[in-house]
Amino acid sequence: MKSTVESNRKRSSIPIKSTTLNTSNNNNNTKLKSTATPTIKKQPLGIANNNIRKPTTTTNMLSSKRKSNEKEPTRSIRPRVDTGKSTFRRTSSTTTNKSGKTAKESNSPRPQQQAKKTQTRASWDLRGKISDMEETRHANESKIAGLSQVWRDLEDTVADKETKSREVSQRLVELQTMREVAESKHGEEIEKLKSHHMQQNRALEENNSTLFTKLTEMQNEDSTMKQRTQNASKRHILAQTENLALQETVSRTSASFLELEAELTSLRSSHEMTDRKISEHDQYIEELKQEVQITNADIKELETRLLGGEKMRRKLHNTIQELKGNIRVFCRVRPPLESEKLRDGNLAQIQYYGEDGEKLELTETLSSTLGKKTIKSHPFSFDKVFAPETTQEECFEEISQLVQSALDGYNVCIFAYGQTGSGKTYTMQGPSGPVLSSSMGMIPRAVQQIYDVTQKLNERGWKYTMEGQFLEIYNETLHDLLGDTSNYGKIKHDIRHEKHGKTIVTDMTTVILDSPAKVNMMLRKASHNRATGATNLNERSSRSHSVFMLRLTGINPTTKEHSSGVLNLIDLAGSERLALSGSTGDRLRETQAINKSLSCLGDVIHALANNKDGTGHVPFRNSKLTYLLQNSLGGNSKTLMFVNISPLSEHFNETICSLRFATKVNSCRIGTAKKLTPPSRSQKNAGT
């Protein structure tokens, strides 16, 4: 270390021209303080200063500094020694003396004065010149003295620093030695520790990654658990709410349970009472059972008698009907309508009389050509005359026995004959529009009666079926009034008479009338179809016959009896057309058809009346109507004709015509009616 420092000193020497100490001057004028290292005295100031300013502890640092100093050999160095007393600056032109003034400042007047003196002194003034030189020398000496003082301070400082530097170097060497020893001693151990440390580090890293994985899993688990906890808390809240509700229910139930318990107790006591009563009743029932057995035996005996009685009733009923005549005529006068009541003298003069109300007399006033007025009366007698105030119910009472005959297995025909507007449709069906039960016509009443009777007959072992057909005869053509509206008038229907008195119309709709409500539906549909057919032909209903055919079939499995009857309810076309003349085209054909069918009806009735032995010819085939009713007119049938008349005087002549036609019919006494015999099973199978 020492050698390095020394060499550095040598290499760092800086030439100082103006401030280089003159040894001769030193010896003569100034005495430098004694130095610990006299060799250093001879060294230039720059070396010492350099070491002082940059004290370093390592060789490297010193060498690097040296290099930097070598690079700037000409730079002026201003070593500053912080002694606390003075500052030494060395420049080419400036020095500092002891008093603090720079050498330049302190010496500057002298050269000027010297110059002045040189200038002013004469060449011969040698003394003066010597004195000037003396002054200069004094000034230099004082300057040197200041510098010497600075130099000494610096030397002290350098000595201190060098001492410290040596100590530091020595310590450094020791430390290096110690380090080398330690390194050699602990190197192996350190390596082991390092490898151990690395192993541990790896293990720790692995552990760390495992722990990280576990941490992630735990975090996931944690979030799952949090979610579960949230769900659980929600469920908990719900459960709490439910629990509260349940608690309420439980409290309510408990209350009601208590009530029920009380009720149960009372019920038990009443149950005991009921038990007692039941046992009493059981005893009573046993007694009753014995009575019932006795009664059943009585009932059986009575039923046997009743069946005999029913047979007797039918026989007697038929005898009565025969006595009344198998063709009967009822006359019905309709009441005037509200609009018809307003005019005076509008109504015809009609008197009603007879013990059973079976007669009426119409009177008219006739004027002769001479102006003489005579009153002419037209008396008529029928089986029954219904005055205008007669209700539908009263009318039906009279025909209900005929309906019963149909149930008993006879063919029954009920006609309504009369001019247009005389009340035929009202009598047969009821008023148009909504129908009250009081204004129901003969058809719904007949069905209602049949329904009621069959219900009672069911109890006596009879099973009845009611099949209804509704057809219209217009211009000698048959139409199905219960069929599809679109087919109306498109299908050709034929009439066929089977053996044993059954008449069939082909392709005709048949409705099973198992309730009275169905009859109303059927009537509505028929009038709707009739109205549809009437769109092209005005007032169709007045110009066609409508026929409602109700077939009644009854079987009594107990007595092996059969019953098959037909009830025909016919609303005839307006009879006044008979008198019309001058019609053309469709009207003429219509008039002819009506005329023909109604006159044929009269002819058939007349022929039947004159054909008591059944050998004569009856012209049934002359019209569709009579051919259709072939099995319902004559020997084995019962016929009733309503002759409906108008109360108006303006219809007087038509009324007289109708009453005369009815009288003609009424005068006929058709042969004894015979019951229809249903075909045997073998005949049915043969299709005959």
Ligand X SMILES: Nc1ncnc2c1ncn2[C@@H]1O[C@H](COP(=O)(O)OP(=O)(O)OP(=O)(O)O)[C@@H](O)[C@H]1O
Where along the sequence are the contacts to ligand X (CB under 6 A)?
A: 334-335, 337, 418, 420-426, 431, 541-542, 574, 644
Of residues 46 and 574, the one with the C-beta less far from ligand X: 574
Q: 3-state DSSP call for residue 242?
A: helix
Q: How far apart are CA 481 and CA 526, in angstroms?
A: 5
Of residues 16 and 537, the one with the C-beta less far from ligand X: 537
Closest CA relative to residue 623, chosen from 599, 652, 589, 649 = 599
Of residues 43 and 649, the one with the C-beta less far from ligand X: 649
Q: What Å distances lie between residue 201 and 49, 194, 206, CA to CA?
A: 53, 10, 8
Q: How far apart are CA 289 and CA 623, in angstroms?
A: 65
Of residues 45 and 625, the one with the C-beta less far from ligand X: 625
Nearest approach, Cβ of residue 300 and ligand X (Å) = 48
If you compute the radius of gyration of the chain from its CA atoms, what whole number of angstroms results?
Answer: 79
Nearest approach, Cβ of residue 495 and ligand X (Å) = 23
Of residues 421 and 554, the one with the C-beta less far from ligand X: 421
Q: Are 519 and 538 in contact (CB under 8 A)?
A: no
For residue 487 the two structure tokens come to 């087919």
Return the axis-axis angle of helices 126-324 and 392-407, rounded to nearest 10°: 80
Nearest approach, Cβ of residue 414 and ligand X (Å) = 14
Nearest approach, Cβ of residue 415 and ligand X (Å) = 12
Nearest approach, Cβ of residue 294 and ligand X (Å) = 54
Of residues 151 and 417, the one with the C-beta less far from ligand X: 417
Nearest approach, Cβ of residue 423 and ligand X (Å) = 3
For 77-104, what is the HEC assignment? Answer: CCCCCCCCCCCCCCCCCCCECCCCCEHH
For residue 360 the two structure tokens come to 């009426």
Ranked by CB distance to ligand X, the top (closest) residue is 423
Of residues 151 and 386, the one with the C-beta less far from ligand X: 386
Q: How far apart are CA 73 and CA 414, in angstroms?
A: 165
Give 170's Cβ-side CA count (13 Å radius). Answer: 6
Of residues 431 and 516, the one with the C-beta less far from ligand X: 431
Nearest approach, Cβ of residue 600 and ligand X (Å) = 19
Q: Are 423 and 644 in contact (CB under 8 A)?
A: yes
Known binding-site residues equal 418-425
Give how far the C-alpha of residue 565 lies from the chain's centroid of Cα atoms, to the nearest Å. 57
Q: How far apart are CA 442 and CA 397, in angstroms?
A: 10
Residue ranges with strand state E in 450-600: 463-474, 477-480, 495-497, 503-505, 511-512, 545-556, 561-571
Nearest approach, Cβ of residue 324 and ligand X (Å) = 23
